[in-house]
Amino acid sequence: LVRHAHHLGCKDILFACATGAVQGMATMGLGVLTDQINLTGHNPLAEWDELRDVDTPFVGMTEAYSSYLRGIALGVAQDEGIALQQGVYAGVLGPSFETPAEVAALRAMGVSFTGMSTVNEVIMARALGMNVLGLTLAANFAGDGSVTHQSVLVEAQKHADDFEKLVRGVLAKL
């Protein structure tokens, strides 16, 4: 998907994901990603022989998420009266939800949001020279024993209108 968008001439790309909020670092609700930690055990650039359009597998990730695009999102959120928190995202393999010990480790690493996607797509987008905006909906507290897939869907629905306004507002400014 990322390589296809690149082939179509896309320079900026927006990734959206549902995440768990790490208590003490984030709350449930909408957020913008500032950085990431890849804990998936995978990197799309590791299969170098199969990559096209990438000059080198050694890609700088210092600004994985564009501060310029993040600024646009924060401005749209302010204009629309949408609460938008910022934080570091940790991508984990999943599909199981996090254990309390995993959440404690993530908190110690400075993680605000945890999820099961996005990090590898961001790595590929950066390798292709694309600017990345990462948006999230923290739909549960990470490590909460009562969380279910259904409860995540219910929480997501509560924020659907604000999320749509945010995305449409960002796209209108690009």
Q: List residues with catalytic annotation.
A: 98
Q: Is 105 exposed, middle or buried (0-12, 13-18, 19+ CB in 10 A)?
A: middle
Neighbours of 127 (CB within 10 A): 24
Amino acid identity of 64?
A: A
Task: For residues 127 and 57, give the distance between their C-alpha atoms in angstroms, rounded to a whole number.
Answer: 7
Report helix, strand or coil for 83. Answer: coil
Helices within 8-84 (DSSP H only): 67-80
For the CA atoms of 101, 104, 110, 112, what is the dihedral angle to 10 degrees? 90
What tokens appear for 97 in the block?
A: 């939800």
